[in-house]
Amino acid sequence: MRKKAWSWMLGLWVSCWVPILQAAVGEAQEVAPGVWFHEGDLVRRAHCNTGWIVFRDYVLVVDANFPSGADEVLPKIRKGTAKPIRFAFDTHHHGDHAYGNAVWADQGATIVAHEGVLKAMQRFETGLFGGAPGRWEGEARGRSDVARSRLVPPSLLFPDRMIFDDGEKRAELVHFGVAHTEGDGFAWLPKERVLFTGDACVNGPFNNAGDGSVLKWVPTLEAARALKPRIVCPGHGLVGGPELLDHQLEFFRTLRDEVKEFVDTGAGIEALKKAMPALREKLGRNERIRNFIGGSFDGMAEKVFGELGGK
């Protein structure tokens, strides 16, 4: 009876919580009991969003951030709980989500990720694995926080799913397929119906397909949407509801369909580039997807062109 009462109260608490999910950048907000979301300062510091889940005996962090981002979030976690931070989950291998791993490792955390994250690090962060200098030694070294830190790869890997369940809380780390990168992972809390998406879903003009595939991104998002989350915590931008996944998915479908017309008619890449301003303007008339049009739009359109077999 007590268990049923708790389940009912939890459902009511979460459903009442959803309409007020807004907070300023840099403020920690509890999106469900023991589930926290922190919007990173992307504009000034290139920080991603970070989440953390407070289990009975430990804390699981979602997205390690840059070292300076991890340093900012750590005291906010400590303000709410003294439980040890046992795990940090990299949703993918990019620096703003994984270069802060050392901060969490120094707290005693094991770094967790889909096995594709380690493969990507071995390919791109080649200096760590005995090859030529890679991103860690190159473009990231312009950041003082990275220069003072060390790269810690994930050591606890999963192929499709990893589950944390202490009887009170359950978090499922899931890989649905390629999207923003080949190793994208989601953190899904089925009881609270909260989904952390990493950069597979963002809230703003922050998409980038350089290490991923726009065509494969669509079925990956469809699988995530099938979970029917109440609350979506994106990799960048404000937390939102399920409509955030709907709009992100509609953006990629629309972009795919518009570029496909250039491929089907045999128009070359230069024709697509010439039409890019008009394409931006056309998609921008759709209020549900204009939020995603930004600096990387041209590159994503060209990526779709190539994936569809354009010449």
Is the domain of 104 the same as that of 149? yes
What letters, b where the CB count within 10 A reaches 16 and e where it falls short, cover 62-90?
bbbbbbbbbebbbeebeeeeeeebbbbbb
Is there a single domain that holds both residue 207 and residue 111? yes
CA–CA separation, 66 and 61 (whole Å): 13
Q: What is the pLDDT of residues 16-59, one digit of tens each?
A: 444 445 678 989 999 999 999 999 999 999 999 999 999 999 99
Do 163 and 278 share a structural domain?
no
> Residue 28 in contact with residue 57, Cβ under 8 Å?
no
Do 230 and 263 reside in the same domain of the chain? no
Q: Dump pLDDT digits (tens) for 184-229.
A: 999 999 999 999 999 999 999 999 999 999 999 999 999 999 999 9
Alpha helices in 187-275 (DSSP H): 214-225, 243-264, 269-274
* CATH code of the domain covering residue 86: 3.60.15.10
My answer on whether 73 and 183 are in the same domain is yes
Of 241, 271, 301, the domain-final residue: 241
Q: How many degrees, rounded to 5, is the angle at CA 168 between CA 162 and CA 170?
A: 20
Q: Is the pTM of this model over 0.75?
A: yes
Q: In angstroms, rounded to a whole number, what is the distance separating the alpha carbons of residues 147 and 67?
A: 10
For 60-73, give the secondary structure using H, E and C: EEECCCCHHHHHHH
CA distance 93 to 157: 13
Domain span including residue 285: 243-311
**How much is the pLDDT for 11?**
41
Rounded CA separation 97/204 (Å): 17
pLDDT above 90 covers a percentage of the chain that reads 88
Same domain, 237 and 247: no
CA distance 80 to 159: 32
Give me the chain's average pLDDT, please. Answer: 92
Question: What total of structural domains would you count in the chain?
Answer: 2
Find the Cα–Cα–Cα–Cα dihedral 224, 243, 215, 135, rounded to 10°: -80
State the pLDDT at residue 22. Answer: 62
Q: In this predicted structure, what is the pLDDT of residue 114?
A: 98
Say whether both 253 and 223 belong to one domain. no
Question: How many whole angstroms separate alpha carbon 213 and alpha carbon 159?
Answer: 19
50 and 106 together in one domain? yes
Last residue of a domain, one of 241, 262, 277: 241
pLDDT digits (tens, 9 = 90+) for 101-146: 999 999 999 999 999 999 999 999 999 999 899 999 987 888 999 9
Look at 310 and 5; give whichever has higher pLDDT: 310
Same domain, 234 and 254: no
Q: Among 241, 275, 299, which residue terminates a domain?
A: 241
**Residue 271 pLDDT > 90:** yes
Same domain, 189 and 236: yes
171-180 residue pLDDT tens: 999 999 999 9
Question: What is the rounded CA–CA span in Å between residue 170 and residue 186?
Answer: 14
Q: Are residues 198 and 290 in the same domain?
A: no
Q: Within this chain, do residues 66 and 136 fall inside the same structural domain, yes or no?
A: yes
